[in-house]
Each structure stands twice: as C-alpha cells, then as structure tokens.
C-alpha cells in the first residue's frame, strides 16, 4: 500500500469514508497496460512481436470484456518484459505513458467524482489489475490518496519477472480493500466503489455505496436488480459508441501493423 507519492500513507485519526475506483474503462478509456506496453516498446523494453501479442489480447479484452485467464496472460507477458529492468527505468516509462496516452483518456466525469470525494474529506484509492506503478502515478496526478495494484517482485532494485502476491483482480480487490480499511480505520459502510465489469462485483459489494460505471452487460443487470446507480462517462467530444469504436480501431490497427512487420524477413 502506498500513497500517491509512493510513501506509506499514515492512517487517519478517526474512521472516515473512502472511494475506490477501478481504472480501465471506469476512470479512463481503454486498457492502461496496453498503453504502458506501447510506451515500453518505444524505449526498447521488448520487440514488435511482444507488442503485437499484447495488442491482440487488448483487442479481445475490449471486444469481449475481462476474463481472469486473459488478464493473467497479459500480466505474465508484461512481467517477462520488465524482468531485469530497474524501478527507475519503469517509473520513467510510466511517466511517459501517462503524458502521451493516459492523461487525455481520463473521463472528465470520473475526474469530477474523484475531486468531489476529495472535497468531501473522503480518501480516494485507485484499485487496479495494472502494475502498482501505473496506479500510483495516476493517483498522484489526480491528487488521490493512493493506489492498490498488481505488484511485481523486485530484488536488488531490479524486477525479477515474477509477481509479489496475486493479480489485483476480482476477489483479490475486495480482500485488499478490507485489509486497507482495517489498517486505516476506514468505514466501508459509508464508502463508495466504482467499477465497470462484473469482475468488480466483489469490490462493489464490499462498500455501502456501489456505483456501476460504463457497465458490461452482467454488471448492468446486477446494478439494475440491486438499485445501484449507473453512470456512463464519455469524453465530451464523442459519443460512447464512437469512443468504443475509436479504442478498438486504435488497438486493432496497432496489432495489424505489428503483425505484418513481424512476418517480414528481418522483422524484430
């Protein structure tokens, strides 16, 4: 657990409410790990074959939604790519990915909700299957309290290519939130959580005020049955459908170009 600056966050003096945000397609449009991988490729962390493979997985994710096996596959490949690199190297790539790809994908409506919770004195935590380095940077840039994310093992300041613990996904998110609440004296009954996928249901059911954001079909059905608020965030300049098409087109185009490049003689 870190605060937005990567330091250990001191617990509050009394019980307080918090807001927990999933990241991909809840806080921002698209798959953050894909944009991080694209930036990693630009600076030479890995070759075009690896990025083409991640592009294919990201496209399947965007078309068919989250699946544990798909997320695990993306994370396993990404872990192999960072093996041997230092914390400082990955931190620099995360900063670049934020500036080049993530900043303008943050939904204005989601940003406004984050700011509203902070103004009300709530803690705000991002909870993501993406690397903790990405989650912590997003939290810092948004002024949030901190982040919970997937942690890659480090030995001697270099990544080993293995996970430290479990992928921050599904029930693991709910356990992490409960542990965080115990350590920091957070009142989950008065807290809120925001998610877009049925895989976020364990997290959403951990708090007193769950909110479905841009929900997939299963989460939308559950939210309607339970009477949970449903919010649909888009960028002001495009409709939700147009945004979805643009994300799919960008990922598909990247994958096609890279797939063709790797088939050429001498392709990296």
Q: What are the residue numbers of the active site?
A: 22, 24
Secondary structure (DSSP) of the chain: -EETTSSPPPPPSS-B-EEEE--BTTTBSS-HHHHHHHHHHHTTSS-HHHHHHHHHHHHHHHHH---HHHHHHHHHHHHHHHTT-BHHHHHHHHHHHIIIIIGGGB-HHHHHHHHHHHHTT-EEEEEEEEEHHHHHHHHHHHT-SEEEEE-EEEETTEEEEEESS--S-THHHHHHHHHHHHHHTB-GGG-EEEESSGGGHHHHTTSSEEEEES--HHHHHHHHHHT--EE----TTS-HHHHHHHHHHHHHHHHHHHHHHHHSTT--
Give the span between the Cα atoms of 54 and 192, in whole angstroms: 32
* Contact in structure between 141 and 98 (CB atoms under 8 Å): yes
Give the span between the Cα atoms of 89 and 146, in whole angstroms: 21
């Amino acid at each position: 657990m870190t605060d937005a600056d990567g330091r250990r966050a001191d617990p509050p003096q009394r019980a307080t409410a918090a807001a927990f945000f999933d990241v991909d397609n809840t806080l921002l449009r698209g798959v953050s790990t894909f944009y991080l991988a694209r930036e990693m490729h630009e600076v030479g962390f890995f070759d075009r074959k690896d990025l083409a493979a991640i592009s294919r997985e990201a496209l399947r994710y965007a078309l068919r939604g989250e699946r544990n096996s798909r997320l695990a596959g993306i994370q396993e490949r990404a872990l192999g790519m960072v093996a041997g690199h230092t914390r400082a190297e990955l931190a620099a790539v995360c900063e670049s990915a934020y500036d080049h790809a993530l900043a303008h994908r943050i939904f204005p409506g989601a940003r406004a909700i984050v700011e509203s919770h902070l103004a009300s004195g709530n803690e705000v935590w991002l909870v993501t299957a993406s690397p903790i380095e990405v989650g912590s940077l997003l939290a810092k840039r948004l002024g949030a309290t901190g982040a919970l994310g997937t942690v890659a093992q480090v030995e001697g300041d270099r990544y080993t290519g293995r996970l430290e613990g479990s992928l921050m996904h599904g029930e693991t998110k709910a356990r992490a939130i409960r542990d965080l609440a115990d350590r920091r004296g957070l009142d989950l009954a008065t807290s809120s959580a925001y998610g877009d996928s049925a895989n976020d249901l364990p997290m959403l059911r951990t708090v007193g005020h769950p909110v479905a954001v841009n929900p997939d079909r299963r989460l939308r059905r559950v939210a309607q049955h339970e009477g949970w608020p449903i919010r649909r965030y888009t960028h002001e300049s495009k409709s939700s459908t147009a945004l979805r098409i643009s994300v799919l087109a960008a990922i598909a185009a990247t994958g096609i170009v890279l797939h063709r490049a790797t088939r050429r003689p001498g392709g990296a």
